Structure 1
């Protein structure tokens, strides 16, 4: 797992200029694909060039809504909720052809700069756009803050986020499995996709303090403990508050039920299929996006000593910020 500065052999587009740019940056292996260090954050090497272009080429609009998440923190759930809430006047979620019944939530809300969210394609979308990203705030254009884009940020208790990351990487990798000990060590070093996780959390936390009307900071555990409360909060933030009539007729409950972990996992579109990435080295199954979603599952995998070590790390990294887990 030693850090090396070598040319990336695998590229999503086989563009020589892309390989040349990525080759100038530190690259390290250990997860299912190599990661490249750019502006103090680790990016999947096969996607690094595309993500590096986002800061200078993505054109935020004032009415954009960006769902920013740390990986393995409930991205799929948040996308489903935000999409269903914001489009409920257009799509009846009881209909068989509702977008979430025919396509995975990850595709319904495109990732900025990633597959399905090419920057040129995003320019063609009508406003207001509902977009998503795993990028830290520092790798998004400064205009996101300057023009007042609304941002919903979602993160997760780090121990659970690590366990989910470990399971996910092993499920999609075609190589040798990653041991939990190795995953734990790398995660605590800040070496993980879009890591260090603490800097990722803190950038959006500080932005939420600076722009509280435009940046909503959520923890995964909040959605689990009170999904109805979060759905109402999210609806108001998206300028689509539930009406008194909708409240009385049970629409909020229906939205939450439709977007629940169990409901999404049991839809046919999420049981099969997937997509190859990194030149065929990994395969992301739709079903792998719905493992358990349980709070506190880390105790079934990590030792008490590992948990205590990560707790100390989190306390140290977040000290003085006001952010706690």
Structure 2
């Protein structure tokens, strides 16, 4: 594959590469195609997806060193698809007997701390952490496409939940998040250019179509392994979807819990409005392995993880020409699949 690691470093962790084959690795990294992005370091084409350059070495460490357990639960998504929200829901379902609604860590920690990203947190700074002491089930998340997940994840019995949001709202949410992260407008970006790059596939962890279809096809071929969940369905009927999620990950609600309203209680705690108004999500900050131009870590305001969360807000941002461009991309890339998107609130 054109963007694979060169043979001499293919089976080494990024930390070992830097130590033993530093120059070779740097030359290989420099040879990969690059593009600009709202991500300060730009994006690099690796294994047919555009990885934030600052995360590439972390992704390689993740691929080479993560050993999946059968009881692991992994949340996968494209950025700005409702990931922060789903993390809170899954954490609450799994830990409902350990924590009450008044002492849950969600009240004091952003959900990224409770369900960390492999590529941005677990393997940050080329670290190879010892994950064997984590209690089961271990909860993780990732934006990495299915094809680039470690072999151990694909071969284990661990469960993957993929959250898909319609491309219109995803694109707007990406634009708004980029404005919080590095003020992309002042960097010369226009929303029209942002739409065009998205449709070309040159966006973080893109192309959108290959990312979504990779997990979609796997969910059809192996439904006991991958659950494909639409953001819009979660918004429309969170109670039904929570029951479905709990069943899939092996934590079904008991008849007594259903009678006691446990599902409803968790859904209220994890509603977007409640989460958005929590003190930690209004005023806290969170650091991923994101380095600014001065070489320091950027601390992302937790409030930037929660915006409107509406279905159909894209109508307030798209011009007719942008809408035509995105519709053309969707029609071309998804015509051979049975997947369809919900663009507007029902």
Provide TM-score, normalisation by structure 2.
0.85
State how many pairs are aligned: 310
Distance 1:99 1:116, change over 3 A: farther
Residue 84 of structure 1, aligned match among 71, 85, 92? 92
The residue aligned with 2:231 is: 220
Greater alpha carbon shift after TM alignment, 211-220 vs 282-291: 282-291
The residue aligned with 1:250 is: 261
Q: Which runs of 5+ in 1 are unaligned?
A: 1-12
In structure 1, C-alpha distance between the alignment counterparts of 2:247 and 2:315, rounded to whole Å: 35
The residue aligned with 2:319 is: 303
5 Å-filtered alignment, 1:113-192, equals 113-116=119-122, 119-173=128-182, 176-177=186-187, 178-192=189-203
Residue 111 of structure 2, aligned match among 105, 109, 122? 105
Provide TM-score, normalisation by structure 1.
0.90
In structure 2, C-alpha distance between the alignment counterparts of 1:170 and 1:29, rounded to whole Å: 15
In structure 1, C-alpha distance between the alignment counterparts of 2:308 and 2:239, rounded to whole Å: 20
Cα contact 1:150–1:214 (8 A) shared by 2 = yes
Residue 75 of structure 1, aligned match among 83, 91, 97? 83
SS at match of 2:120: coil
Cα contact 1:173–1:281 (8 A) shared by 2 = no
Q: Which runs of 4+ in 1 moved over 6 A?
A: none
Distance 1:267 1:117, change over 3 A: farther
Distance 1:320 1:174, change over 3 A: closer
Cα contact 2:37–2:204 (8 A) shared by 1 = no
How far does residue 38 in structure 1 lie from its aligned partner after superposition? 0.3
Greater alpha carbon shift after TM alignment, 59-68 vs 306-315: 306-315
Q: Which runs of 5+ in 2 are unaligned?
A: 1-14, 342-346
SS at match of 2:251: coil
In structure 1, C-alpha distance between the alignment counterparts of 2:297 and 2:70, rounded to whole Å: 38
Cα contact 1:32–1:282 (8 A) shared by 2 = no
Residue 207 of structure 1, aligned match among 186, 204, 218? 218
In structure 2, C-alpha distance between the alignment counterparts of 1:106 and 1:172, rounded to whole Å: 16
